Each structure stands twice: as C-alpha cells, then as structure tokens.
C-alpha cells in the first residue's frame, strides 16, 4: 500500500508545508460549490426524499474522503438520537439524554484520539458540529410539544411538532455546506429549504441572487486565506515557544502575541466563509428581504468580518465571531438555565460546556475562563460609566471617542489574542510557559479589576436623580411637533 506521502495530498502537503488532513478539509469545502450547482440544476424543487438522499450520500462521501472508516461514529450517533426520539421524543428526559449521549460520545472521541501538541483534524472535527445539531433537534421537538404561548420567539421559530424522519436527520447532518465546519442551522430551516419555501417567488426555481451572494462569500474567504498564508510566513506559532521569543522585551512579546492572535484566528474565519458560501449558493441561508426588497442570504452567517475587524468591545467580538455557535449556546444552554436566578452562574456553566465541547485539553478551559472574567469586567466598566452621566458625557465627546476607540480596540484584540494562547497551545506546560514570559499580564489586569471596580465605585460619586434627569436628552411629548 502506498504511503500517504506518495498520494496527491501527501505530495502537496510536503510541498507547501501544510498537513494532509488540512488539505483534504479545504478541498472538501471547495467541493461544496460544484455540489451546490449540481443541486441547483438537477435536484432543486424535487421531492424532499430525493434531496435528503443527495445530501446524505454526498456528505457521507466527503466524510469518508476525510476520515475513512471513522465515518461510522457519526452514523452511530445519528441512529442513537433517532431511536431516542422514537422512544421518548418531546420529554424532559429526552433533552437530558440528548445532552449526555451526544456530549459523551464526543468526549469519548477526544479521549480515544488522545493528547496532541496541537489541534488535529480528526473525525471529532465534524462531530462537534453534529453534536450541537442533534441536541438542537431533540430540544426543538421538546419545544414543539409545549403550549406555543409559553415559548420565546426564537424557540417558536425552530420548534418541531413531530419527530423528523431518519432520512431528514441524515440529510440535515450531512448537508455538504455545513457538515464539516458549520454553519449550524435548525431542522426547521432545513425542512423549509427542501420543501421549497426559499425558492424564487416568481420562477419557483432556485433563487438567482443566492449565486452572487455565495460566490462573494467564497471570494472573501479566498482573500482571507491568501492574507493568512502571507502572514504565516512571518508569524509562526512555534516562535511563541522558542528561545528567541524569550529574549524579546516585554512590549515586543505583547506586540507579537497581538499580531499572532489576529493572524491565527483568521484560519477559522476563512474556513467558515468558504463553507457558508456553498450553503448560500444552494439557497439554504435565505433570511427575508431588506427595506429595499433585496433578498438577504445571511441566515447562517458565522462571521461578520467588518464588525470583527473593527470591533472595540468583547460584545462586538462575540456577536461577530463564530456567531452560530454563540447563538446556539445562548439559546440551548444559557437561556435554559434561567431557573438558576443568576446570569453569572448561567454564563459560567455555558462557558464550561463550550470548553468541554471543544475538547479535554486544559487550554480550552483556561481560554473560556479568561473570556468569563474579561466579558464580566467589561460589563462592570460599562455599568460604572452609565450610572454616572458626567462620565458618559465625557466619553461621548467626539474627540475623546476616537482616542477611546483606539485604546479599546487594541485592548480587546490583545485580550482575545492573549486568551487564544491557551486555546491554541492546549497543554498546561506550553501555555503556562508563554504566559509566564509576559508575567501573566492578562490574568493580573482582569483578576485585579474587581478590586479596582469596588474602589472606583466608592471614589466616583453617582449623580443625584435630579442631575441625571437634567443630563438626559429632551423627549418630545405628544403635543409637541
């Protein structure tokens, strides 16, 4: 048997310095485009069962191309959840069991694969997507059995009145535009898609505008890939662990971490953009029309690049990066923990589950622990300013705003890069080594902030109720014009 290095992808991996697994993944994302155009030309509007078979077979083929016989894991997981729905779908027990079965199987995969010095693309990569998708189906069936008046608007939009068929579940999970790296989308969206709800309103065929929107997303993804490859020539992750990095001064180390983090995070961005583009071409991502009547294709957007690049708060980053996963965690975990009576506790549990979903390495837990303290620190600072209108008037000054935007942007993006060190280096000894070389600056700042916050609350007087009213903008009454 020929070795992997003798194969096409083995040769390419040696030539360009990328792993064979990553090349196969990228090739699979690009294959989504011819598969999308074949679907538009031959299968759009056909019986749903035919579409399910097409998505199932093409997705299974891509899975085998990437992971070989390990595709059996996704098949077993889907069958297990289908049986769960048949036996007790719509019950509280089914929801708890879905979380345990899916998350447990994923953790079994992490443990079976074993530890590595860096993230490897294995069958657990698409299984992360599958895990959330199957849990969502079970929860949506549960919501569908409840009184609609008791559901929130976002729960109503995805609630399922009956169990999906096994063929529907295979089609949704293996849909080529979202199987490998996302985006996440609900079973309800998938059902509407295959039933023609998103078809062109005039021709009843595949929507024309989705092609341009999807190819634009592809072009943006290719641009990000190009810029990432150029940057990777000069900024390498291995440099963080080198003796040369240790010899740098403190500020030079922080500057390198800032640019390394910004660069490294774009490899995820590029994969999401390319994958989303093929989903757009099929028409799956329809999201209504704007005020001018133009069709919107951002129903499964996983990254809002402009907001991510120009954001100056952790809220901007969370809202624009890995959006579908963040929205999923908010909908299926955070909001479901409302009974705890504490947003902070709900947030902590959600972030712990998010870390567990990523893997068993200590670096994931440190990353999301840092996210917890950073996000809550920002909220405390914002509340401190909002409750003191005289401070609000200062920071709203146009001249001050520009300077603050620069300071906030650098602080936020450095903080994200700082947290990313543990996320990417994974092992305790590796990320501890880098953090210690910069004196744990991020930990120190955000761990000391609660004490600084208490001090500022005492030193900065609040405005009286009368002063607050005087500083509020005037509001027109009904009699005023």
Instruction: From first to last of the 481 residues of the chain, give the pLDDT tens digit.
Output: 334 444 776 667 666 667 888 889 999 999 999 999 999 999 999 999 999 999 999 999 999 999 999 999 999 999 999 999 999 999 999 999 999 999 999 999 999 987 666 678 899 999 999 999 999 999 999 999 999 999 999 999 999 999 999 999 999 999 999 999 999 999 999 999 999 999 988 889 999 999 999 999 999 999 999 999 899 889 999 999 999 999 999 999 999 999 999 999 999 999 999 999 999 999 999 999 988 888 999 999 999 999 999 999 999 999 999 999 999 999 999 999 999 999 999 999 999 999 999 999 999 999 999 999 999 999 999 888 888 887 778 877 887 888 889 999 999 999 999 999 999 999 999 999 999 999 999 999 999 999 999 998 888 877 654 444 444 444 433 333 3
How many domains is the chain partitioned into structurally?
A: 2
Say yes or no: 278 and 426 in one domain: no
| CA 418 – CA 436 distance, rounded (Å) | 12
Domain shared by 89 and 210, yes or no: yes
Same domain? For 365 and 248 the reply is no
- Residue 243 CB contacts under 8 Å (≥ 6 apart), including other chains: none
Nearest alpha carbon to residue 277 among 181, 371, 357, 359 = 181
CB 325 within 8 A of CB 133: no
Q: What is the pLDDT of residue 468?
A: 46
55 within domain boundaries: yes
Q: At what angle do helices 250-264 and 209-234 cross, to 10 degrees?
A: 150
Question: Would residue 136 count as lying in a domain?
Answer: yes
* Separation between Cα atoms, residue 114 and residue 26, nearest integer Å: 24
Specify whether 93 is located in the same domain as 49. Answer: yes
Based on the domain organization, do 402 and 293 belong to the same domain? no
Structural domain includes residue 241: yes
**Is the same domain home to 340 and 298?**
no
Does 274 fall in a domain?
Answer: yes
Say if residue 274 is in the same domain as residue 336.
no
Q: Are the beta carbons of 120 and 113 closer than 8 angstroms?
A: yes
Q: Determine the structural domain holding residue 407 and report its residue range.
A: 329-461
H-helix or E-strand spanning residue 178:
none
Could you tell me which residues come within 8 angstroms of residue 334 by beta carbon, excluding any fewer than 6 positions away?
Answer: 346, 347, 350
CA distances from 166 to 137, 163, 436 (A): 12, 9, 51
Residue appearing with tokens 């947003």: 343
Is 73 catalytic? The answer is no
Query: Per-residue b/e over 411-432, b at no fewer than 16 CB within 10 Å?
Result: bbbbbbbbbbbbbbbbbeebbb
- Residues 344 and 228 placed together within one structural domain of the fold: no
Distance CA 133, CA 306 (A): 27
pTM above 0.85, yes or no: yes
The contacts of residue 77 (CB under 8 Å, 6+ apart) are: 101, 102, 105, 127, 130, 131, 134
Residue 284 sits in the same domain as residue 338: no
Q: Is 309 contained in some domain?
A: no
- The active-site residue, picked from 77, 102, 302, 322, is 322
**Is 93 among the domain residues?**
yes
Q: Is 358 a catalytic residue?
A: yes
Of 450, 423, 422, 446, nearest to 434 (Cα)?
422
Residue 433 domain flag = yes
Same domain, 147 and 207: yes
Structure tokens at 374: 């950073």
State whether 94 and 224 are in the same domain.
Answer: yes
Token digits of residue 130: 């599958």
CA distance 456 to 450: 10
Measured distance CA(157)–CA(208) in Å, rounded: 25
Q: Which residues pair with 305 in a beta bridge?
A: none
* Active-site residue, selected from the candidate residues 127, 266, 358, 413: 358
Residue 9 located in a structural domain: no
Which pLDDT value is given to residue 50?
Answer: 97
Indicate if 429 and 348 belong to the same structural domain: yes
Helix runs in 145-208, H state only? 153-156, 166-173, 187-194
């Amino acid at each position: 048997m020929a070795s992997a290095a003798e194969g096409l992808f083995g040769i390419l991996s040696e030539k360009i310095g990328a792993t064979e697994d990553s090349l196969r993944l990228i090739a699979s994302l690009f294959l989504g485009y011819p598969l999308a155009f074949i679907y538009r030309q031959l299968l759009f509007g056909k019986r749903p069962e035919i579409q399910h078979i097409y998505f199932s077979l093409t997705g299974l083929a891509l899975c085998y191309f990437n992971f070989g016989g390990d595709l059996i894991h996704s098949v077993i997981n889907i069958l297990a959840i289908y049986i769960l729905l048949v036996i007790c779908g719509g019950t509280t027990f089914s929801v708890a069991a879905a979380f345990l079965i899916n998350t447990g199987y994923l953790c079994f995969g992490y443990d079976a694969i074993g530890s590595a010095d860096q993230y490897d693309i294995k069958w657990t990569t698409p299984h992360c997507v599958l895990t959330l998708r199957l849990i969502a189906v079970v929860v949506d069936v549960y919501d569908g059995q409840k009184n609609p008046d008791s559901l929130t608007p976002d729960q109503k939009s995805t609630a399922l009145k009956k169990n999906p068929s096994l063929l529907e579940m295979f089609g949704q999970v293996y849909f080529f535009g979202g199987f490998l790296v996302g985006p996440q989308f609900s079973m309800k969206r998938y059902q509407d898609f295959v039933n023609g709800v998103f078809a062109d309103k005039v021709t009843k065929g595949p929507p024309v505008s989705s092609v341009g929107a999807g190819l634009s997303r592809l072009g943006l993804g290719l641009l990000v890939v190009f810029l990432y490859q150029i940057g990777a020539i000069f900024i390498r992750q291995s440099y963080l662990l080198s003796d040369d990095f240790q010899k740098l001064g403190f500020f030079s180390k922080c500057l390198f971490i800032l640019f390394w983090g910004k660069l490294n995070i774009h490899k995820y961005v590029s994969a999401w953009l390319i994958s989303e583009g093929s989903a757009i071409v099929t028409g799956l991502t329809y999201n209504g029309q704007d005020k001018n009547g133009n069709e919107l294709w951002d129903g499964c957007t996983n990254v809002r690049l402009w907001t991510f690049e120009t954001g100056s708060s952790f809220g901007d980053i969370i809202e624009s990066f890995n959006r579908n996963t963040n929205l999923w965690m908010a909908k299926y975990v955070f909001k479901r923990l409302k009974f705890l009576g504490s947003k902070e506790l709900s947030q902590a549990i959600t972030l712990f589950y998010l870390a567990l979903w990523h893997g068993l390495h200590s670096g994931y837990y440190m990353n999301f622990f840092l996210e917890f303290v950073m996000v809550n620190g920002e909220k405390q600072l914002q509340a401190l300013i909002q409750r003191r209108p005289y401070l609000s008037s200062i920071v709203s000054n146009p001249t001050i705003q520009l300077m603050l935007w620069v300071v906030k942007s650098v602080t936020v993006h450095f903080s994200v890069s700082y947290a990313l060190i543990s996320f990417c280096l994974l092992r305790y000894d590796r990320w501890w080594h880098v953090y210690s070389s910069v004196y744990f600056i991020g930990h120190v700042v955000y761990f000391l902030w609660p004490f600084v916050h208490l001090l500022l609350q005492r030193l900065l007087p609040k405005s009286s109720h009368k002063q607050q009213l005087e500083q509020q903008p005037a509001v027109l009454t009904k009699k005023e014009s």
